[in-house]
Amino acid sequence: MILAGLFLSAPACADLVVIAHPKSGAEQLSKEQVVNIFLGRFRQFPSGIAAEPIDQAATSSEKAVFYQRLVGKELAEINAYWARLVFSGRTQPPRQAASAAQVLEMVAANPGAIGYIERPKNESRVKIVFDVEK
Amino acid sequence: MQRTQRTTATSPVAPAFALRGFGTLAAARSSSDQAEFVRDLSQPRGLSSGEWSGRTDSVLGLQANWQATPELDLVAQAVSRYRYDASYRPELVWGFAKWDPNAHLSLRAGRLGTEFYMRADSRLVGYSQLAVRPPPDYFGALPFAHIDGADASATLPVGGILLRGKLFAGISTEKVPLADRLWDLDGSTMAGGHVDLQAGPWLFRLGHAALRFKHDLPAPAATVITALSATAVPSAIAAASALGVRNTESRFTSAGVVYDEGPLQVQLMFNRTQHESTTFQNSTGGYLLAGYRVNRFTPYAGWSRVISTPKSLATGLPNVPPLSQINAGVAGVLADSRSNQHTTTLGVRWDVRDNIAIKLQGDAIRGTPESIFPYRWEKAGWNGQTNVVTFSMDFIF
């Protein structure tokens, strides 16, 4: 486990994108807006709709890669960040989905939901609002 | 960390109720046997006689969250740690209702952790911190953990930056150990606020808080005050009044900046503490802490400083026995809150797992022999210097 964490913490995820519901009112989000939503600093779409971020599973490579590319942080650091906010009674971390498919389903079903998955093909139920670049 | 469920049609199984916890197992040793090193002044005893002890930094916390509605969250947190009465009896540190009517506003009422300085309200959560403990030169003089009251936070995005403000007010129910007595803070009022500016990896904060004490200090300060008053000499009675703490205000002003991006994190903070009562010396403190992560290891280095300004008080009493005893007592009270030291910190944090961190830290404290406020049970041979070594394991669950 420990060695796996050391050497396999950032496997190559080809093409991660942030997805939102077409009714979120968001065409494109800036990196700062995505950071604000996922780190719980300000959870609102520019349209005014409350944003509800969804994480992939804690053990998923998508989650590790997402935060690495977004803020350059390892999951341990993200957990430390949330420990500070949760145990001082502030913001809650994103809800956690069990799988990428579930993230897609949740975003497709909820105008406020926002998640990250491998770039979907032929998926009209959600909108790509941010490219998580390498 | 699972998040509670909101109104989503297809959702993971996430309860509206969540139970979480944090803790630290630590062993620390101080090289000096002439004064006991403490994490902060809420601790009646510290590290003594070169022994390894877990009392300064070990802690266990449990928190229950109940998301009653998407806007309403009920939170209770109990913490067991070495506390003012030398026991580990768990106490309720947080217990409040939080109402977030929208993304801009957050209102809380109940028992709340005090946020006198940046990160002061999470200083028991070792896992959330880079170092073993928040620098005692900066946070050590804060024995207050919680208030019963309310706070309000507002967030406003302006272009690419976030502006945040928070106001809080409440009443203390705590006690502070002083030698073998307890100083009762029960009924003391606290109020304050801060303004944050978050710009990408940068976070700037200005803060201010004030505390009005409900009760005077116990002996020996109380004994000195009684003796001064008993002389019936007007100048001595005035001195007794100046030493009083009841109904006086202490003010805490702070400024801080945090840079946190990728493997690098840096914190720089300053504070200024001013006391209306002549009993406490005004002080200035600050610290710089920086860490750089390399894989799962984050070596860090810090430097902190606290210095107070002695106050003088004339009793008008001649320095002849038995009155000289009273003068000596006054001098003793005035000297008790003296701080003048700096600390160099080196350490490494090893994130063994994504919820466990092991730390090894060394602190070299260099001060003057008069620097006794940050310690407990200092002896005549105290030279103001000690080295502290700490091993800790922090975890969350």
E strands in B31-104 = 36-37, 59-67, 72-81, 91-102
Give residue B6's pLDDT: 44
> Which domains can be identified in chain A, with CATH numbers?
2-131 (3.40.190.10)
- Is B11 in contact with A106 (Cβ distance < 8 A)? yes
Over the stretch B358-375, which tens digit does the pLDDT of each residue have?
999 999 999 999 999 999
DSSP H or E run through B103: none
Contact A76, B354 (CB under 8 A): yes
Q: CA-to-CA distance for A131 and B308, rounded, in angstroms?
A: 52
Over the stretch B100-129, which tens digit does the pLDDT of each residue have?
999 999 999 999 999 989 999 999 999 999
The identity of residue B190, as a single letter, is: M
Arithmetic mean of pLDDT, B366-390: 96
Interface of A with B in 57-86 (CB under 8 A): 58, 71-77, 79-86
Q: CA-to-CA distance for B109 and B317, rounded, in angstroms?
A: 50
Q: CA-to-CA distance for B213 and B207, rounded, in angstroms?
A: 20
Give residue A12's pLDDT: 56
Which residues lie across from B365 on neighbouring strands?
B343, B386
Over chain B, what is the mean pLDDT? 94
Over the stretch B189-203, which tens digit does the pLDDT of each residue have?
999 999 999 999 999
- Is B75 in contact with A89 (Cβ distance < 8 A)? yes
Taking alpha carbons only, the member of B299, B300, B276 closest to residue B288 is B300
> Which domains can be identified in chain B, with CATH numbers?
18-396 (2.40.160.10)
Contact A39, A66 (CB under 8 A): no
Taking alpha carbons only, the member of B79, B259, B114 closest to residue B188 is B114
Give residue A13's pLDDT: 64
Give residue B180's pLDDT: 86
Predicted structure pTM score: 0.92
Instruction: Report residue A69 as tokens.
Output: 């590319």
Give residue B343's pLDDT: 98
Q: Residue B72 — φ and ψ, nearest 5°?
A: -115, 125
Contact B384, B378 (CB under 8 A): no
Contact B163, B155 (CB under 8 A): yes
What SS3 class is residue B330? helix
A122: exposed, middle or buried (Cβ count in 10 Å: 0-12, 13-18, 19+): exposed
Arithmetic mean of pLDDT, B74-79: 98
DSSP A57: P
The answer to whether residue A5 scores a pLDDT higher than 90 is: no
Q: Is B261 on the interface with A (CB under 8 A)?
A: yes
Residue whose pair of structure tokens reads 């002061």 in the numeric block: B120
From the list A82, A84, A102, the residue facing B12 with the nearest CB is A102
What SS3 class is residue B156? strand
Residue whose pair of structure tokens reads 């490579």 in the numeric block: A61
Euclidean distance between the first and the last CA atom of chain B, given in angstroms as a whole number: 8
What SS3 class is residue B269? strand
| Torsion angle of the four alpha carbons B275, B276, B280, B283, in this order, in degrees rounded to the nearest 10 | 30
Give residue B143's pLDDT: 87
The dihedral through the CA atoms of B237, B238, B239, B244 has a sign that is positive
Give residue B367's pLDDT: 98
Q: Cα distance from B281 to chain A (closest Cα, Å)?
A: 30
Q: Residue A98 — φ and ψ, nearest 5°?
A: -85, -25
What SS3 class is residue A16? strand
Give residue B15's pLDDT: 56
Q: Is A4 on the interface with B (CB under 8 A)?
A: no
Contact B375, B365 (CB under 8 A): no
Over the stretch B335-357, which tens digit does the pLDDT of each residue have?
999 999 999 999 999 999 999 99
Confidence tier at A10 by pLDDT (50, 70, 90): very low
Cα B74 to its chain centre, rounded Å, is 25
Q: Is A27 on the interface with B (CB under 8 A)?
A: no
Continuous H helices in chain B? 136-139, 221-230, 234-243, 323-335
- Is B3 in contact with A6 (Cβ distance < 8 A)? no
Cα B9 to its chain centre, rounded Å, is 44
- Is B63 in contact with A87 (Cβ distance < 8 A)? yes
ipTM here: 0.92
Instruction: Report residue A86 as tokens.
Output: 């949760």
* Cα separation values, A64 from A12, A16, A55, Å: 10, 11, 10
Q: CA-to-CA distance for A39 and B63, rounded, in angstroms?
A: 20
The answer to whether residue A9 scores a pLDDT higher than 90 is: no
Which residues lie across from B341 on neighbouring strands?
B306, B367
What SS3 class is residue B197? strand
